[in-house]
Structure 1
Amino acid sequence: MIEIPPSLTRNSRKRDLFGGDPYFRDAWDDIVNLWPDSREQIMRLHQTALVVFRPDAIVSRRIEFALEIFNAKGLTPVAVTTFKYDRMRVREGWRYQLNIATRDRIDVMDMLLTCGRSIMVLYRQDLPDAQLPTTVWLSEMKGPSLPAGRAPGHLRFVLGKAQVSVLTFVHISDEPADVVRELGVFLPYAARQRALRSVNAGRDVTTKLRAVLNEQYASSAEHDLLMANVIQKIRLIIREPPHRKECDPLVDRLNAIQAGASSDWRGLLKTLKDRRIQLDRWDEIAIAAELCQRHFPDMLPVIPDVGLDAWTR
């Protein structure tokens, strides 16, 4: 077991669980080998934020807004790489939070996150806050997953036109301990070594980041992720032969969904498949994301999010 100091997390439950977590231990061993001095370990981790631009942010084509905000806040990208979520990374990335997620939400997360590559950026704060680790205050800036709580200053508000709970666009590690664990979850050994060496070198990799972003934009079509636009697209398709029918159950499904009387996205997608109406994968995701259930009521995650309050008390 690794004894994790409070300078990496203010959550005692997290310290207990992460001390034996294999992903945390993988990345921690790398960090100790690179920075043997414990004071340097803490300093480096306090200066560093881990940011993941997810596939929904990439297809929304609004990541430049976030880059401008980060630059204005005195943040310098010092490492950039890409990775692809798979079934295991989805579950291990949110191992201590998915206990409150419905089957519906997990299925849509799988659809969305595995649909393309994600961009991971490690940022250094050039003017470190004396009290707060960089990733703590930056995580607060991303805004909540619940759209009703997002405001124009939040990254999740800025990054996408579609404001839906499961479309969160950007992930930022809550605390320094999460930076360590998520390096272990998202990156295999060789990629993790490259990222940490890049952090150690401390060079501004903005040019590389722009190149990686343009590459990911080129590899996926743009999509606004608005279900209303997808439904309009379907309505136009079924007006034309050979899809047109006098009495059409598909129209009834669309009407019920738009009226708020149905959230059966699985039934809608099955009906479209049965009718051989081909949608883009992101069309399907836009529908499922809007209609899927969120969380089980009255349940708490194994490890709740840790925000500014825990660090400023």
Structure 2
Amino acid sequence: MRVTGVEAAFNATTGAPVPDLATVPSQSATKRHYFAQETSYRETWALIQDMAGRGANAAWSRHTYILFKPDAVVSHAVRKGLALLAECGFEALACAPLSITRHQLRELWRFDMNKVPVERLAAADLLFSAGEALVVLLRDPTGSGASERLRDLKGHAKSANRAPDQLRARLGAGDFLLDFVHSPDEPADMVRELGLLLTRRQLAHFVSVMTGAASAEPAEVVAMAGAMEGQVGHHPLDLSASLGRFAAAFGDRPRPEIARPTPAPLQAGAADWQEVLDALLQARTPSPLPQLERIHGLPERILALAAGDPRRRLWPDQDLELWDTVVIAAKLSQRDLGGVKSLLEEPLAVA
């Protein structure tokens, strides 16, 4: 790979080489191509090269991380998740609580976001703005490739595609946005993603623990998980219950009069806002109307109402919780554009 003037200046500053295709630990040729030029990957690679030297590749292979998302925290699934990981042989070494911004979110899943509808992006923003996440550094003593082993143990983002003994299934995680955890697929992803999620000080601490220059703190990881769960109430993240509470908020009024959100273009066949309210008014029990899952406009309207401040009550005189809004938006928004491949699935153009 030709080294540009900018890259040469980067080398001179850090004393570490710009990664070439051979130093990007990935099975994907497309990923190796992109990551060798990607800023977060290059910065993180330079740091571990400075701190670990020739042991860098071995350090990344023996370690991985897991991100417990805000939905795992509000479900009180973090400590259980740590216990299940320990049962499978993973050692929790260090952790950092995070408030993940919308910009970090887009960078973290940059190579997949091209196939995600704008409505779904807004739902993801609402989820990650609803609370903190916890990133945990893990060591795999088996030496079989930590990221790959955790990837296989974790289970699919879609619940129907999980085995009963996989982590997400055992935690009772939902589908896709509400799937509780994220982890890197292979070491190259770990290098890039920790550089996006952590401050430089946090990243240096993780690398120090990985190389043995700093002590592991497993008890502090468990304590942090317990503290985070203790700071929030428990929410079941159940669509039926959330829709039921939404409908019950209007159950005593024949025709609620509320300010409509700024009109947005409707997809073909989508219901208008009043039609959504009318459908909700008919739900007198915690069970939602089946047809609500076919009303494409619902998540857009809910998100529009929350746009000013997602932590305020959407209805001034009603007790509609933020997490009910998250659940409805996450479970009813369109998951992908259909027929669009992620950037890493597209073949490289050959000049």
Give the TM-score, by structure 1 length.
0.86
Deviation of the 1:255 alpha carbon: 5.0
* Preserved CA contact (<8 Å) 2:79 2:225: no
Q: How does 1:5-16 map to 2 (within 5 A)?
A: 5=22, 8-16=25-33
Q: Does 1:69 align with 2:84?
A: yes
What SS does the aligned partner of 1:297 have? coil
Structure 2 equivalent of residue 219 of structure 1: 231
* One-letter code aligned to 2:289: Q
| Partner residue in 1 for 2:9 | none
Deviations 1:86-121 (A, max 9, x none): 011100000111111111211111110122111111
Conservation of the 8 A alpha-carbon contact between 1:60 and 1:159: no
In 2, are the aligned partners of 1:2 and 1:25 still within 8 Å (CA)?
A: yes
Which amino acid in 2 is paired with 1:140?
D
Partner residue of 1:22? 39
Q: 1:191 aligns with which of 156, 180, 202?
A: 202
Residue equivalent to 1:101: 116
Distance 1:246 1:30 in 2: 63
Judge conservation of contact 1:100–1:299 (CA < 8 Å) in 2: yes
SS of residue matched to 2:328: helix
Look up the SS of the partner of 1:245 in the other structure: coil
Q: State the match for 1:307 in structure 2.
A: none
Shift of 1:251: 4.5
Aligned residues: 295
Would you identify which runs of 4 or more consecutive aligned residues in structure 1 move more than 6 Å?
Answer: none
Measured in 2, the distance between the counterparts of 1:154 and 1:254 equals: 39
2:243 equivalent in structure 1: 231
CA distance in 2, matches of 1:28, 1:6: 9
Q: Which amino acid in 2 is paired with 1:262?
A: I
**Distance change in 2, residues 1:204/1:2 (3 Å):** closer
| Equivalent runs, 1:1-313 vs 2, <5 Å | 1-5=18-22, 8-37=25-54, 40-129=55-144, 133-160=145-172, 163-201=174-212, 203-239=215-251, 244-247=252-255, 250-253=277-280, 255=282, 258-260=289-291, 261-263=294-296, 264-267=298-301, 270=305, 273=314, 276-304=317-345
- Secondary structure, counterpart of 1:92 in structure 2: helix
Residues 182 and 251 (structure 1 numbering): CA distance in 2 closer, same or farther, change over 3 Å? same
Distance 1:254 1:90 in 2: 35
> Match for 2:179: what amino acid?
T
Structure 1 residues not aligned, in runs of 5+: 305-313
Contact kept, 8 Å, 2:245 with 2:320, in 1: the verdict is no
Aligned twin of 2:348:
none
Between stretches 50-59 and 73-82, larger displacement belongs to 73-82
CA contact (8 A) 2:75 2:236 kept: yes
Counterpart of 2:178, as a letter, is L
Aligned partners of 1:182, 1:204: CA distance in 2, in Å?
21
Whether the aligned pair in 1 keeps the contact of 2:302 and 2:325 (CA below 8 Å) is no
For the 8 Å contact 1:77–1:124, the answer to whether it is kept is yes
* Kept after mapping to 2: 8 A contact 1:59/1:220: yes
- Whether the aligned pair in 1 keeps the contact of 2:209 and 2:216 (CA below 8 Å) is no
The Cα offsets for residues 50-77 of structure 1, whole Å up to 9 and x where unpaired, read as 1110101111112233222211222111
**Structure 1 position 147, deviation (Å):** 2.5
SS at match of 1:126: coil
Which structure has the greater CA radius of gyration? 2
1:5 deviates by: 2.8
State the one-letter code of the partner of 1:196: V
> RMSD between aligned alpha carbons?
2.4
Taking the aligned partners of 1:12 and 1:194, their CA distance within structure 2 comes to 31
**Structure 1 residues 301, 254: closer, same or farther in 2, change over 3 A?**
farther
* CA distance in 1 between partners of 2:218 and 2:65 (Å): 15
Q: Distance in 2 between matches of 1:222 and 1:87?
A: 24
Q: Which moved more, 1:250-259 or 1:274-283?
A: 250-259
CA deviations 1:234-268 (Å, max 9, x no partner) are 344334xxxx2234663523659722242322335
2:83 alignment partner AA? E
Amino acid at match of 2:290: A
Decide which moves more: 199-208 or 279-288: 199-208
Using the TM superposition, name which of 22-31 and 57-66 deviates more. Answer: 57-66
Q: Judging changes above 3 Å, is the alpha-carbon distance between structure 1 residues 258 and 290 closer, same or farther for their aligned structure 2 residues?
A: farther
